[in-house]
Amino acid sequence: MPLTPIPEIRPIDHLAHCGKVSDPALVLRDRTLTHGGLRERVSLLAAWLSQEVGEKGARVAGWAAKGELTCILTLAAARAGLVHVPINPLLKRAQVAHILHDSGARLLLGTKARLDTLETADIPPACALMDEAAVWAAVDEIPSGLPPSDAAPDDLCAILYTSGSTGRPKGVMLSHANLWLGAVSVADYLGLAADDVTLAVLPLSFDYGQNQLFSSWISGGCVVPLDYLFPRDVAKACAAHGVTTLAAVPPLWVQLTELDWPPEASKPLRRLTNSGGALTAGLVQDLRRIFPQAQLFPMYGLTEAFRSTYLDPALVDSHPTSMGTAIPFAEILVIADDGRIAENGEEGELVHCGPLVAQGYWQDEKRTAERFRKAPEGSVYGGMAVWSGDRVTRASDGLLYFVGRRDAMIKSAGNRISPQEVEDAARATGLVTEAVAIGVADDRVGQAVHLVVRPAGDVEAAGAADALAKRLAKELPNFMQPKVIHSRDAMPLNPNGKIDRAALAQEIGA
């Protein structure tokens, strides 16, 4: 498949100038910013940041709930020649301290209550703190703003810290080109337009969440940021604002499909997007039932390369387990263990090449060298590539299918078992809504399969494990049978809303 031609790459702060001046751009609690207002606020905040932190390339961190500051800080910092480090507001002081010290942040802007939780040792000596109310009071005193920047495509403009399952979070370095082309790409394949309204429920420190803003604004559309307490808050916001675009991860979709959606909330939706885990056939059916008019976009991505693939909505019903094909500006190769491009149907590692590939991990040459390596022979883009560690196959029609992560494979009695295959089989029974398969050390077989599940709403929890074991005995070969099935009323979630596999593994002693 030919690669999408790369368009002109503009500095990311130019996103503030893409919409019609009078059209709404950002719906805040007390007011709505038009695209003209967005331009003005980005310009003034950039001027204040430049005044406060004069050193080009210095890092400015943000740690606050969704609002005006968190939504426009990336654009304003970039315009001032600074690097934005968004911090998930759900993180606690220990994780925040790591990010501040690792990034060498010069300034931390955030909610006063959050800033007050930090101890002296948590804050780097050169880092100043300021609460968001004081920030805007200072910005209001700025006489004039900064004009759009002339940053180069490869200039660093953001560092996103990933919530990895092992070790401390690592900062992924993103350039203007990474963010600009990511916005262009997503806006293109989603078909976003100036009359679209996006409900931003995902964390803005998450590349998937951040792109909700950028892809909407590059299309001239509007964003409604929402920090929800309960899933029903999402449905209420959809109704109140005529939301047309909703992005979520599987655990949230499960909760949303368990709600009663009034027509005024469901009918305006034009598109639903999913990443951070695969949709199940049952979940797809539920989404189709509730939102029959909406296009469904399953997507696969990794922070190190933003987004890799999406499945055309027209193929969701006929190819429900496929990851789809490469998004615009991404070159996706399947590389066999001997280094050649894999044949159709042959398992290999997904390797992402092209201009969406990040610049590596901040001040971490060792881990950068492990993940960011020379593109394989046969790559059209060449240069540096992200070797994902994910095992996939490509069918003769070009569609990709996920097999499992190399480091997540369960090795039992000489067999390599894909956790996803066990999980899919469990969910397919209809007895459970969520399932996570984990390998636990076992003296006899090396690793035994343990399955953690959340029973479906109409299934009696007490008998769910026994009923599931009987069904799986019929559906899976002996070596894939769970040794133990653990039932949970709720799954632990990480700060990005995904099921926290590391926490579950620790709970069951893996």
Please state, in angstroms and as integers, the Cα–Cα distance from residue 256 to each residue in 190, 245, 261, 290, 376, following that order: 21, 14, 9, 10, 41
Position 418 confidence tier, pLDDT thresholds 50, 70, 90? confident
The angle subtended at Cα 190 by Cα 423 and Cα 265, nearest 5°, is 75
Please give the backbone phi and psi of residue 499, each rounded to the nearest 5 degrees, phi first. Answer: -60, 130
The angle subtended at Cα 322 by Cα 319 and Cα 326, nearest 5°, is 120
Write the CB contacts of 126 (distance below 8 Å, at least 6 apart in sequence): 104, 106
Q: If DSSP codes are grouped into helix, strand and coil, which group holds residue 442? A: strand
Report pLDDT for 405: 75
Lowest mean pLDDT segment, chosen from 347-361, 365-379, 408-422: 408-422
Q: Is 369 exposed, middle or buried (0-12, 13-18, 19+ CB in 10 A)?
A: exposed
Maximum alpha-carbon separation in the chain: 73
Report pLDDT for 365: 95
Q: How far apart are CA 130 and CA 123, in angstroms?
A: 12
Question: For residue 39, what are its two tokens?
Answer: 């331009």
DSSP notation for 113-162? HHHTT--GGGS-TT-EEEEHHHHHHHHTT-SS-PPPP---TTSEEEEEEP
Q: How far apart are CA 110 and CA 91, in angstroms?
A: 12
Domain 409-507: which topology?
A: GMP Synthetase; Chain A, domain 3 (3.30.300)
Where is mean pLDDT largest: 193-197, 416-420, 475-479?
193-197
Q: If DSSP codes are grouped into helix, strand and coil, which group holds residue 104? A: coil
Q: Is 133 exposed, middle or buried (0-12, 13-18, 19+ CB in 10 A)?
A: exposed
Amino acid present at 294? A
Percent of the chain with pLDDT over 90: 82
Q: How far apart are CA 300 and CA 350, in angstroms?
A: 11
Do residues 334 and 346 make contact, with C-beta atoms less than 8 angstroms apart? yes
Percent of the chain with pLDDT over 70: 98
Question: For residue 33, what are its two tokens?
Answer: 């910013």
Number of H helices, E strands in the chain: 15, 25
Q: How many Cα atoms sit within 13 Å of 87 on the Cβ side?
A: 29
Q: How far apart are CA 198 and CA 210, in angstroms?
A: 12
Give the residue from 213, 219, 210 showing the smallest Cα distance to 190: 219
Long-range interactions of 21-30: CB distance < 8 A, separation 24+: 23/194, 23/220, 23/222, 24/222, 25/217, 25/221, 25/222, 25/223, 26/68, 26/71, 26/72, 26/222, 26/223, 26/225, 27/222, 27/223, 27/224, 27/225, 27/241, 28/67, 28/68, 28/225, 29/67
Helix, strand, coil share (%) of the chain residues, nearest 5: 35, 25, 40
Do residues 315 and 324 make contact, with C-beta atoms less than 8 angstroms apart? yes
Residue range(s) occupied by CATH 3.40.50.980 in the chain: 24-151, 191-293
Q: How far apart are CA 485 and CA 475, in angstroms?
A: 15
User: What is the mean pLDDT of the segment spanning 82-94?
Assistant: 92
Question: For residue 354, what are its two tokens?
Answer: 């092209």
Report pLDDT for 298: 97
Mean pLDDT of the chain: 93
Domain 191-293: which topology?
A: Rossmann fold (3.40.50)
Q: How many Cα atoms sit within 13 Å of 133 on the Cβ side?
A: 5
Place of tokens 């007490």: 462
CATH number assigned to the domain with residue range 24-151, chosen from the 4 options 3.40.50.980, 3.30.1360.150, 3.40.640.10, 3.30.230.10 = 3.40.50.980
The pTM of the full predicted model, rounded to 2 decimals, is 0.87
User: What is the mean pLDDT of the segment spanning 201-220?
Assistant: 95
Report pLDDT for 92: 84
Where is mean pLDDT largest: 103-112, 273-282, 459-468?
103-112
SS (H, E, C) 352-399: EECCCCCCCECCCHHHHHHHEEECCCCCCCCCEEEEEEEEEEECCCCC
Please give the backbone phi and psi of residue 374, each rounded to the nearest 5 degrees, phi first. Answer: -55, 140
Do residues 507 and 286 make contact, with C-beta atoms less than 8 angstroms apart? no
SS (H, E, C) 476-505: CCHHHCCCEEEECCCCCECCCCCECHHHHH
- pLDDT surpassing 50 at residue 164: no
Place of tokens 């596999």: 501
Report pLDDT for 167: 54
User: What is the mean pLDDT of the segment spanning 140-164?
Assistant: 93
Write the CB contacts of 154 (distance below 8 Å, at least 6 apart in sequence): 175, 176, 177, 359
Position 244 confidence tier, pLDDT thresholds 50, 70, 90? very high
pLDDT digits (tens, 9 = 90+) for 454-508: 999 877 777 888 999 999 998 887 888 999 999 999 999 988 888 999 899 999 9
